[in-house]
Amino acid sequence: MRLNCPCCGPRGVEEFTYRGDATVRRPAPDAAASDWVDYVYLRDNPAGWHRELWYHAAGCHAWLVVTRDTRTHEIADVARAVDIARQDRENAGS
């Protein structure tokens, strides 16, 4: 599998580290304990398209959001996580 890093271009997956589900959102500091338990311990195991966090450890050290089909490993999109976070903040503010 190869990932097309937005900073470095196409690279072998061995340069990257999988860092988890990119769709999980941290609860508010005063959220219920059950919300924190869900945040820390519960993850879906989807068969199909999924947004994942990857870290380019042997490259530019960028955090990436990869949209990948977990059944075929087809990759639809790779974007810098900082750009996704900025986009989410702008959408939340409008």
Judged by the rule CB under 5 A, the positions of this chain that interact with Zn ion are 5, 7-8, 56, 59-60
Q: Pick between residue 36 and residue 63 the one whose CB is nearest to Zn ion.
A: 63
68/78 Cα distance (integer angstroms) = 9
CA–CA distance, 33 with 53 (Å, rounded to integer):
25
Using the minimum distance from each CB to Zn ion, give the nearer residue, 5 or 53.
5
Dist CA 49 CA 22 (whole Å): 12
Task: Name the minimum Å distance from CB 80 to Zn ion.
Answer: 9
Closer by beta carbon to Zn ion, 32 or else 82 = 82
Count other C-beta atoms under 10 Å from residue 14's C-beta.
Answer: 10
Token pair belonging to 20: 């988890």
Minimum separation from the CB atom of position 65 to Zn ion (A): 13
Smallest gap from residue 32 Cβ to Zn ion (A) = 38
